[in-house]
Amino acid sequence: MTLWFLRGLRRGVVTTRYPARPDDSAADLPTPPVFRAEDLDQALADRLVAVCPSHALRRDADALVFDVGACTACGRCQEAAPGAVTSSGEFELAATSRGHLVKRIPLRREARA
Amino acid sequence: MTAVQPGASGTLASLIGAISGASLAETGSTVTVKVPAAELEGAVHHLAAAGARLADLFAAGQDPTVLRLVWALDAERQYLVMQSDVSGQEYPPLSDVAPAAFAEECEIYEQFGIRPASGKPLNRVALPPHAGPDFPRLGHQPPQAPAEIHAPHTVGGHAFEFPFGPVRQVGVESLYYGLVTSGEEIVDLYLFTWHKHRGLEWRLRGQAPRDALFHVERTEGLSAIAVSWAFAAAVEAALGVAPPPAAQRTRAVALELERLYNHAAATAALCQATGLTVGQSAAEIALERLLRLNAAAFGHRYLFGVMDVGGVRRAPEEAALRAGLRGARSELRRAADALASTNSFLDRLEAAGIVTGEQARRLGLVGPVARAAGLAIDARKDQPAQPYLEFPPAVAIRGSGDVLARFQVMQDEAAESVRLIGDLLDAGAGAGTASLPGAGGSGLGWAESSRGEALAWVALDADGRISRARLRPASVRNWRGFDDACRSQNVFTDIPIIEASFWLTVAGTAR
């Protein structure tokens, strides 16, 4: 405690870096998906919306709307479309606005062959 | 789990034969008997007198509402489901004969609007006070609101009521304590658990079983494997399918990992409750290592996404599991050994929160709480199914029924879980799922969670969708023993210690 106090006085910084060091175990954690827009058409988007149990996905006309804040990283969308959906590896999801957690992914206009 | 030795023979047949008007309805993995409502009270008396354990009571349907009583015949290694059609608004009072049924009688009244004919007041246990006619429920709204006999009230004499909760300190679930005290000693205690009601059984209706798993494993997140195993086994019993043997062993590996991290968490909570911060940190280091081990072995710290109906969705990462298990176990054992020789810890545990064997039997308690009170009940041994038929556990038991006995049972079980995981991995644990026919049926499933026996009963319609799913985690049973444990000559500061030793969840009962 004393050391932290003195270090803070000397540097003018009262918090540590985050993370203080890389955490290897983070690689084992389930993380929200990322979507390859070039692989997504309306039919696939509808299929992904149907398998999402927490309603983190919805289709809005020609866009797939992904609410990262509602995603539980269950992996069902990745199982449904392993090529178009992959794990992001990102679990640091803090945002200053709730809206920043909602992403719009434009869909291909024509269906994939 | 689903049993492997069905049929109604021997003692079971004589038990059923002595019930007036009983008819055998099903002899699949679980024996089901139909009993006329008029004979129900006598049947309950008969089975209770014969030593059967009333494991659950629930209802389904409307006009008539069907009551189902799940009896565990532990000596016979068999579950018996007794069902009875109730046409009117009342059914015979069952908790007068089997006190373990009272909480369920209350819940059935809130959900289905039918009540025991005794006219005794029924508590509010499940639905919140604002549950009006449009509130999602499984059946009819009751004609009158449940009695608020436990609402904050004036207490006579020198005793007064000290309300605490439902919002408690950071990270602890919502739970309202009504503490009645004369100063320090606990005269009476009651709980409100309905603040967290989520209507999960209502939500499961109409879902395909595999889709329902998402909600099922979140019923009691700290028992995700046990509750989803019970549910999956119930569906498998209904459809007559069996998971591949390697997948059954994977289920058991995950279940024992779940037991390990829960017992480590309970140990840390006991240290926190007794003010031992060094011991708490040591136990939490072990807990964190176990959670990371879960993630390394199964991809999720709380083992979500492992279970599937008909099998498992993934195999364990065997090398990571073997490499990490020994170290994590050593960490927990080091903390537990140090605590076992710390007098200031043991003094707080000894003779605190006593649950006698008779209380445990009368209230139908399960798991470490019952085993610490001398009842050697463990679904892995009493209702064995694969893989526990091949890998039977040594059941830890103590007799004093206090917090210390529960702590000792948990430590013995942690050691046994490590042994079992090693044996299961040696035999081969893999992924795999049996194909499911799209058919109807009903079945009972069970698993021994870290808190005790978890049960599920599932009915599927002709399309294979859920028409009724009953989920009964162990927390549902054991909360009813908590107030008895707190009343037995304890003081305020004993309550967090007793709660840590029960290691229950509010979510599990307010499902």
Is the CB of B211 inside 8 Å of chain A's CB atoms? Answer: yes
Interface of A with B (CB under 8 A): 25, 28-30, 53-54, 74-75
Question: For the stretch B23-58, what's the b/e string if a residue is b when 16 or more beta carbons lie within 10 angstroms of its beta carbon?
Answer: eeebebbbbbbbbebebbbbbbebbbeeebbbbbbb
pLDDT in tens, B215-263: 999 999 999 999 999 999 999 999 999 999 999 999 999 999 999 999 9
* B53 and chain A in contact, CB less than 8 A: no
Task: Please compute the mean of the pLDDT values over residues A34-41 and round it to a whole number.
Answer: 94
Rounded CA Rg of chain B? 22
Q: For residues A54-64, give the mean pLDDT.
A: 95
For residue B477, which of B496, B500, B458, B504 has the smallest C-alpha distance? B504
Q: What is the pLDDT of residues B482-511, one digit of tens each?
A: 989 998 788 888 999 999 999 999 999 999
Which among A28, A53, A54 has CB closest to B299? Answer: A28
pLDDT, average across residues B115-135? 89
Distance from CA of B265 to the nearest CA of A (A): 19
**Lowest-confidence segment of B85-94, B213-222, B419-428 by average pLDDT:** B85-94
**B208 reaches A (C-beta below 8 A):** no
Q: Where does A7-70 show beta strands of DSSP type E?
A: 33-35, 57-60, 63-67
Cβ–Cβ of B215/A25 closer than 8 Å? no
- The residue extents of the domains of chain B are 10-116, 200-507
Write down the mean pLDDT value for chain B: 91
Give me the CATH topology for the region A26-106: Alpha-Beta Plaits (3.30.70)
pLDDT tens-digit map of B46-63: 999 888 999 999 999 888
pLDDT at B3: 43
Verify whether the Cβ–Cβ distance A74 to B295 is below 8 Å: no
CB contact under 8 A, B299 and A74: no
Assess whether pLDDT exceeds 80 at residue B40. Answer: yes
Please judge whether A75 and B301 are an interchain contact, meaning their C-beta atoms are less than 8 angstroms apart.
no
Contact of B210 with chain A, judged by CB distance below 8 Å, is answered with no
Q: Judge: domain B10-116, CATH 3.30.460.80.
A: yes
Confidence at residue B27, expressed as pLDDT on a 0 to 100 scale: 59
Tens of pLDDT, residues B309-341: 999 999 999 999 999 999 999 999 999 999 999
Question: What's phi and psi for B452, nearest 5 deg?
Answer: 130, -170
Report pLDDT for B153.
62
pLDDT 10s digits, B277-317: 999 999 999 999 999 999 999 999 999 999 999 999 999 99
Contact B186, B487 (CB under 8 A): yes
The candidate with the shortest Cα–Cα distance to B99, out of B343, B360, B392, B383, is B360
Residue B16's pLDDT is what? 77
Per-residue pLDDT for A33 more than 60? yes
Nearest to A25 among B211, B295, B305 (CB): B295
> What confidence tier does B5 reach under pLDDT thresholds 50, 70, 90?
very low
> Measured between alpha carbons, how far is B370 from B259 in angstroms, rounded to an integer?
16
Q: How far apart, in Å, are the Cα atoms of B253 and each of B83, B359, B493?
A: 34, 32, 37
User: Which residues in chain A are closer than 8 Å to B215, comparing Cβ atoms?
Assistant: 53
For residue A38, is pLDDT > 50? yes
Q: What confidence tier does B4 reach under pLDDT thresholds 50, 70, 90?
A: very low
Structure tokens at B247: 């997948």
Cβ–Cβ below 8 Å for A28 and B292: yes
Cβ contact, residue pair A28, B211, below 8 Å: no
Residue of chain A minimizing CA distance to B289: A25
pLDDT digits (tens, 9 = 90+) for B379-398: 999 988 889 999 999 999 99
Radius of gyration of chain A (CA): 19
B221 in contact with chain A, both atoms CB, cutoff 8 A: no
Contact assignment for B305 to A74 by CB distance below 8 Å: yes
ipTM of the complex: 0.84
| CATH number corresponding to B200-507 | 1.10.645.10
Query: Which position has the higher pLDDT, A2 or B124?
Result: B124
- B-chain residues near A56 (CB < 8 A): none
3-state secondary structure of B264: helix
Mean pLDDT, range A92-100, rounded to an integer: 91
The mean pLDDT of B9-32, rounded to a whole number, is: 72
pLDDT of residue B131 exceeding 90, the answer is no
Question: Strand order of the sheet with strand B176-181?
Answer: B160-164, B176-181, B186-192
pLDDT at B6: 39
- Say whether pLDDT at B2 is over 60: no
- Is B354:B486 a contact under the CB 8 Å cutoff? no
The pLDDT of residue B468: 96
What residue spans define the domains of chain A? Answer: 26-106
B305 touches chain A (CB under 8 A): yes
Q: Quote the pLDDT of residue B344.
A: 94
Report the residue from B211, B296, B301 with minimal CB separation from A53: B211
Q: What is the pLDDT of residue B276?
A: 96
**Per-residue pLDDT for B182 more than 90?**
no
To the nearest whole Å, the CA of B261 is away from the closest chain A CA by 17
